Amino acid sequence: MKRLRIGIVDIVSKGPTRALWARIMNASLASIMPQAIGVWCQEEGHDVTFVCYTGFENLLTELPDSFDVVFIGAFTEAAHTAYALSNLFRSRGAITVIGGPHARCYPEDAARYFDYVLGFTDRGTVCDVLRDCSQHRPEGVQLAAARQPGTLPGVRQRWQFIEATLRKAPLLKMVPMLGSLGCPYTCAFCVDSTVPYQAMDFEVLREDLRFLLTRFKRPLVGWHDPNYGVRFNDSMDMIEEAVPPGSIDFVAESSLSLLSESHLKRLQRNSFKGVLPGIESWFTLGEKSRTGALLGMAKVRQVSEHVKLILRYIPYVQTNFVLGLDSDEGPEPFELTKRFLDMTPGAFPAYSLLSAFGRAAPLNLDYQRSGRVLPFPFHFLNNNSAMNVKPANYSWQTFYDHIIDLTRHSFSPRAISRRFLATEWLTARWMNVVRAVSTEGYGRARYYREIRNRLDTDRQFPPYFEQKSGALPQFYKNIVRQDLGSLMEWLPDDALYHDPNAYLKAERSKDVVALV
Ligand code: SF4
């Protein structure tokens, strides 16, 4: 096969940014899959240029003018940046490929702008693309492996890409690793709930940890597992066999049900510095938080005690909540979260507005069937900038009143200082402060107030939010234009609009085919 010039762009930021939190964190949020694709392409004998876009680079000048193929990895919030880049590279003669969460959630839409749209991707899928390597327009080809790959290139193989990315991180240099894929739990809103759980090759992981000790005095590893520690003892054995205790710091996302006191002791011995358990709701999902049938204030008390226990062993705890679930009604869910924060000052709260990301989760079919999914442009689908599912039990005005009140409470000077004092690890203390005063706390509070105000004063808002008009308010168009900067001129004209019910339509047409 001809030696190809291949570009790989891992889009971490949806556009240029100057935010302090983004400066500190974005390079540490790089994905593993684009790096794996880079390794596979090199092993197939091609030339690879790799860029992780953190929002501080000028992509128009950073990337060479001509490629044969460009792979782009993007979350949905960065879809427009990806679409604009694809358009730009196609105009220069390249074949373009999109993978990652957006491609899996909205394949029909991505196929309008890319030659190939990848679902589950393994080395065979990448080789298929490189072998075919031809234009598929106006509609791209959708390719997918039957399942997630059984093995991925380890840190040593990915190091050239990891190192180049972490050079952009001024303070915190977190190396991405993956101990498992999928999850055995079945939270209906989660993209991983339908992906079978599988552990990665422990021998490769052991090698990777040893390798990192040759690169950093004290490495920091971020486990990208959807739910770290499902095979808890095996995972801890692996770390303990690989490196001396406490020589590498770790951060992981784990459900509360996996964080028993005996597990916490072992995590502490192995220098786990941060965990991100999902609480999600006070009225549902008791299974993953190990609260069983407990609801409301009883669940708050139990989870608060549990999180305080975690904080005795692990200094950084981010608790994840979903706002606007159908199980929530009235002010109580928000008041309970405020009570939880008062009772658990050391926990950093991360809020997600209920969102239906295309095909991400089976539950999205229900939202689409009942006509509740709004066509907010992808740029706003990051769990915060817009909620694209009409709340079941709130008017939009009341809902935003509640989230403004909750955000204000969560990031008030009193809450920030109590969180600071309740956190022991110095790095964690300052991370919490920066997060609160940067885009995540103060920035979001400002944005929510703006939306709430426009629901009363901007004539374009109520018809759009109430699904009486599909005309996107100018306010949102202006934000996309501002955020994309110089890439805006490459964004295809129709890219701000997508079919929010494409998943349902595809499922129905399958039924029709089956009947024929
Ligand atoms: S426990 Fe977490 S990763 Fe697993 S299905 Fe539920 S939300 Fe997804």
Report the atom number in ligand 1 closest to the C-alpha of 280. 7
* Cα 249 from chain centre: 22
Nearest to residue 95, comparing CAs of 46, 147, 149, 133?
133
The pLDDT assigned to 512 comes to 58
- pLDDT at position 385 is 96
Q: Give the Å distance between the CA of 493 and the centre of ligand 1.
A: 36
- pLDDT score of 286 more than 70: no
Which token pair is 309?
Answer: 């226990």
Which of 119, 69, 128, 77 is closest to 99 using CA atoms? 119
Q: What is the dihedral of CA 306, 307, 312, 318, to 10 degrees?
A: 160
- Encode pLDDT of 378-430 as tens digits: 999 999 999 999 999 999 999 999 999 999 999 999 999 999 998 888 888 88
* pLDDT band at 60; cut points 50, 70, 90: confident
Ligand 1, atom nearest to 255 Cα? 1
Confidence of residue 120 (pLDDT cuts 50, 70, 90): very high
The predicted structure's pLDDT at residue 504? 94
Supply the pLDDT for residue 513. Answer: 56
pLDDT of residue 432: 85
Distance in Å, CA 190 to ligand 1 centroid: 6
Q: How far apart are CA 301 and CA 280, in angstroms?
A: 15
**Averaged pLDDT for residues 282-306:** 79
Please say if the pLDDT value at position 347 is more than 80: yes
Taking 80 as the threshold, does the pLDDT of residue 470 lie above it?
yes
Residue 226 Cβ inside 6 Å of ligand 1? The answer reads yes
Read off the tokens for 212. Answer: 């990192």
Give the 3-state secondary structure of residue 325: coil
What pLDDT does residue 220 have? Answer: 95
Give me the residue label for tokens 């539950």: 363
Distance (Å) from CA 185 to ligand 1 centroid: 6
**Contact indicator for 79, 102 with CB cutoff of 8 Å:** yes
In ligand 1, the atom with minimum distance to the C-alpha of 192 is: 8
Supply the mean pLDDT for the chain: 93
> Any bridge partners for residue 198, and if so which?
181
Q: What is the pLDDT of residue 135?
A: 98
pLDDT over 80 (residue 478):
yes
Which tens digit of pLDDT belongs to each residue from 171-226? 889 999 999 999 888 887 788 888 889 999 999 999 999 999 999 999 999 999 99
Indicate whether residue 299 lines ligand 1 (CB < 6 A): no
pLDDT confidence of 143, banded at 50, 70, 90? very high
Say what the pLDDT of residue 511 is: 64
Contact criterion met (CB below 8 Å) for 225 and 199: no
Distance CA 109, CA 199 (A): 32
The CA 57 to ligand 1 mean position distance, Å, reads 33
Q: What are 419's two structure tokens?
A: 């969180």
**Distance from the alpha carbon of residue 43 to the mean position of ligand 1, in angstroms:** 34
Amino acid of residue 430: W
> Nearest C-alpha to atom 6 of ligand 1 is from which residue?
187
Is the pLDDT at 285 greater than 70, yes or no? no
The confidence score (pLDDT) of residue 459 equals: 97
Q: Which residues contact 306 (CB under 8 A, 6 or more apart)?
A: 256, 259, 289, 290
Spacing, Cα 231 to ligand 1 middle (Å) = 15
The atom number, within ligand 1, closest to the CA of 190 reads 8
Distance of CA 299 from the midpoint of ligand 1 (Å): 19
Q: Is the CB of 7 under 6 A from ligand 1?
A: no
- Expressed in angstroms, the distance from the first to the final Cα of the chain is 42
pLDDT tens by residue, 27-37: 999 999 999 99
* Ligand 1 within 6 A of CB of 191: no
pLDDT of residue 245: 92
Q: pLDDT-based confidence at 19, cuts 50/70/90?
A: confident
Characterize 306-328 residue by residue with b for buried, 16 or more Cβ atoms within 10 angstroms of its Cβ, and e for exposed.
bbbebbebbbbbbbbbbbbbbeb
Is residue 289 lining ligand 1, measured as CB closer than 6 Å? no
